[in-house]
A and B are shown apart, each in its own frame.
Chain A
Amino acid sequence: MSAVTSSPAPASAPASAPAPSLTSVFVRLKLSLLRNGLRQSGGRTAAYVVSAVFGVLFAAGMFLAFVLLRGHESAGTAAILLTGVVALAWAVMPLFVPSGDETLDPSRLVMLPLLPAPLVRALLVASLVGVGPVLTLLLAFGAALSVAHGAAAACVAVLAVPLVTVTCVALSRAVAAANIRLLTSRKGRDLALLSGLVIAVGMQVVNFAAQRLSEPGGMDAVEPAAAVVGWLPPAAAIGAVDAAGEGAYAVAAARLLLTAAALAGLVHWWRRSLVRLMVEPDGSTIGAAPDPAARGKDGTGFLGRFLPDGRTGAVMERSLRYMWRDPKTKAAWVTSLAIGLIVPLFNALQGAGSIYWACFASGMLGMLMYNQFGQDTSAFWMVAQTLSTPADAYAELRARAYALLAVTLPFTVLVTALTCAVLGDWGRLPEGLGLAFGLLGAMLGTGAVASALFPYSIPQDSGYKNVVPGQAGLAWISIFGGMLVAALLCAPLIGAVIYFRVADHHSLLWLLFPAGTLYGALLVWAGLRLAAPRTANRLPEILAAVSKG
């Protein structure tokens, strides 16, 4: 102790022990963070284990597919393109998944006396620890295996496989570092919350593409793409293995060197971004400029002029604004709208369609009525402060249903009409509309009741989690119980359709339109009536339930 006079250096550490290398410190830090994160909650552990198991199963399946593909003429094309897709996923991932990896956040390291070169090295090694890199390694190994013919190719593969993995990770980190301003700003986080949408729509596209590729000769169509991607790192490394297998050693060497050069370039770019980030703090919130011209002079804008006065208008206006402005709400809406449109139309286009698929749209959109107060987050207190009687609660819920209907009604009509048009069977439009309106009414009615009885918090920080740990059961009861009840409530309409068809009263099927519309309206009214007193009586409980996110 007495020796400590001027230097503020590591006074507490025993002087004899050498400082551990920065790399090992970061790897251990990463492991500790992972372990502590998992220890925090059982749900998180379960989610991690499940996703890891699924990831491993998927990678193992892909690996097996690659092994089976070995020797096939399209093996090279498949291997190169898939590596390209994996690399692309790594590149865009940081833009959509706000990294939970705190070791990679430079703002947390800014106070430490670290030099850029060892820091980047340590961070790179640390970011290789995790499920993602392991899966990538497995996939790259599989891809290399499918195209590696001969000793030379095997030698190239030994270099190429780790090179692909490290380049993917470095790519991801470099993109993340370059975009960290965007990712830490409010607008960037909003963007990230839309990732669910990208995934939902992307899955439909992949589904469609997979169907096309599985047709005879599908792989031939993508061969030109493979020729280009084969020169793009890191897929170029797999291309190198392919080329070495075919005896084109110069091409193989060039592709391998290209990948190595790309890795060096990425690391350099990453390092430059890191250095800049550590000396220039984020100032993005300061510049968030107001946009007075775009808004109305008073608090009610363009919408307000068409809406009724009082609570109904105010609530509708806010709900409609939130559909556009709140990223979480927007993502839910766009996903529902897109899938509600894609599923009936694609089915109709592929010849397997039926007018009843149009009900899918009203079902998807009706689900947005569920957990109304959870969508408010803890800001629900502002609503709760103005609700006291069941009549207030009825007006509140009714206005929210109106706001929903303002979008869903025209959309349901559009989807049903489009489906009819594609099927070329306009005669069934009334029947389809009747069923869709009936289902929409049932969903809105049960949604209002479920909102009152089973509210739950929607976490605002993650694009994936729509339920906080501990409330998953509640959410399931709310949504699936509600959907079951809604389906049961629609039974009379479905029964009527079946009866008219079986008893050959086709000329009477148009009756379903007025019947379904009236029945749907009745169900909404009944649902709101049931939900209103329960909402008014449970305000503190609802507030507590929606304030956990």
Chain B
Amino acid sequence: MPDQASGGAFEKAGTAPGDGAAPAVRVEGLWKRFGQQIAVDGIDLVLPAGRFIGLVGPNGAGKTTTLSMITGLLRPDHGRILVAGDDVWADPESVARVKSRIGVLPEGLRLFERLSGRELLAYSGRLRGLPGDEVDKRAAQLLDVLGLTDSQHKLVVDYSTGMRKKIGLAAALLHNPEVLFLDEPFEGVDPVSAQTIRGVLERYTASGATVVFSSHVMELVESLCDWVAVMAAGRIRAQGPLAEVRGDAPSLQAAFLELVGANERAAAGDSLDWLGGTGSAGNGTGSGAGGGAQ
């Protein structure tokens, strides 16, 4: 499986050692429990480098928990995680190497909201030990590309959802990481901002970097990703190149519903036969592909 990552994926100078086929992320027997609930149930995952990877699954599947453990924000109960060859939960030196090589945009955690967008980037770049003028140069370019230049002096607390995601993305990209982890980067984001984010991410992966993002919007994953891992109820149901996971299904949405076993419930529309008043026949939106993921 890791062999899939060959083919010019490592263009970034000086980052990849000689064994060119090392996966970006390798997860072995990862397990996490919150009280009675097992959030992540012993998953194994190999994510190739240089790809645009989608981690998909319904709400509560364990995507956020998994990404939090991979990025060092949540301590796993069991299991081992290697990012670019370094153990995320081992000695401080190894952790330091991992943290300097990844960028993170978590879901549901705050930013330092009482800083302006510009100040947030300045702060986070300096925390990462980048020289001040380099931080300011990169920040200006990122703000420009992400269309935030006009709002750069506004406090983040006054930003809209789309602007927040964009400034979070800028902070995650500032130190030019090898692997970028984004938790629901398009959730609640308007189409214009989404397109901007998408453009930046496509440019970034084209240079050989890896993007791992979680989502439940299948059309988006299908159009962006070349590698997919499907998660449900704390387990990995499938992982591999997009075409392989999709198989014979007409779309990723259909394959996904099949994999997580959601088709039976979707068809259960009969009990609402009174809905819609005059009884004109429903047009069969209950099941199948085009159900509208957003």
The reply to whether A321 and B153 contact each other, CB–CB distance below 8 Å, is no
Q: How many A residues have CB within 8 A of the partner chain?
A: 49
Contact between A325 and B155, CB atoms less than 8 A apart:
yes
A290 partner, pick from B73, B124, B150, beta carbons under 8 A: B150
Residues of chain B with a CB closer than 8 A to A5's CB: 277-278
**Residues from chain B with Cβ under 8 Å of A381 in the complex:** 73, 104, 106, 109
**Any chain B CB within 8 A of the CB of A408?**
no
Stretch of B92-100, B195-203, B246-254, B264-272 that contacts chain A: B92-100
Query: When the two chains form their complex, are residues B135 and A290 in contact, meaning their CB atoms are under 8 A apart?
Result: no
Report Cα–Cα, A294/B71, bound state, in Å.
37
| A540 contacts B74, C-beta separation under 8 Å | yes
**Interface size in chain B (residues, C-beta < 8 A):** 51
Q: Is A431 an interface residue (CB 8 A)?
A: no
CB pair B92–A388 under 8 Å, yes or no, is yes
Question: Are the CB atoms of B132 and A321 closer together than 8 Å?
Answer: no
- In the complex, the chain B residue whose C-beta lies closest to that of A189 is B157
Interface residues of B in 139-183 (CB under 8 A from A): 139-140, 150-155, 157-158, 160, 171
Binary CB contact string for chain A from 507 to 549 against chain B (1 if under 8 A, 0 otherwise): 0000000000000000000000000000010011101100100
Please name all residues of chain A whose beta carbon is closer than 8 Å to the beta carbon of B158 when the two chains form the complex. Answer: 186, 285, 288
A184 at the interface (CB under 8 A from B): no
Residue numbers in B under 8 Å from A387 (CB-CB): 99
Across-interface contacts of A64 in B (CB, < 8 A):
none
Report yes or no: A385 in contact with B99, Cβ–Cβ below 8 A: yes
Nearest CB in chain B to that of A384: its residue:
B73
Residues of A within 8 A of B71 (CB): 385
Among A37-45, A172-180, A230-238, A306-314, the one that faces the other chain is: A306-314
Complex: how many Å from CA A385 to CA B127?
A: 9
B111 at the interface (CB under 8 A from A): yes
| Contact between B122 and A295, CB atoms less than 8 A apart | no
Q: Say whether B115 contacts A321, CB under 8 Å.
A: yes
A318 in contact (CB, < 8 A):
yes
| 11 extra interface residue pairs, beta carbon distance < 8 Å, beyond A311-B126, A382-B124, A541-B75 | A295-B118, A298-B136, A300-B122, A310-B126, A310-B129, A315-B127, A318-B115, A379-B109, A387-B99, A388-B99, A540-B74
* Residues of A bordering B, CB below 8 Å: 1, 4-5, 186, 285, 288, 290-292, 294-295, 298-301, 309-311, 313-315, 317-318, 321-322, 325-326, 376-379, 381-390, 392, 536, 539-541, 543-544, 547
Question: Residues of B with Cβ closer than 8 Å to A?
Answer: 71-75, 92-93, 95-96, 99, 104, 106, 108-116, 118-124, 126-129, 131-132, 135-136, 139-140, 150-155, 157-158, 160, 171, 274, 277-278
Q: Can you give 29 contacting A-B residue pairs, CB < 8 Å?
A: A4-B277, A285-B160, A290-B152, A292-B152, A295-B116, A299-B123, A299-B136, A300-B122, A311-B127, A314-B123, A314-B126, A318-B115, A321-B115, A322-B114, A325-B115, A325-B155, A381-B73, A381-B106, A382-B124, A383-B127, A384-B72, A385-B72, A385-B104, A386-B129, A388-B96, A389-B96, A536-B92, A540-B74, A540-B75
The 3 closest A-B pairs by CB, nearest first: A299-B122, A314-B126, A388-B96
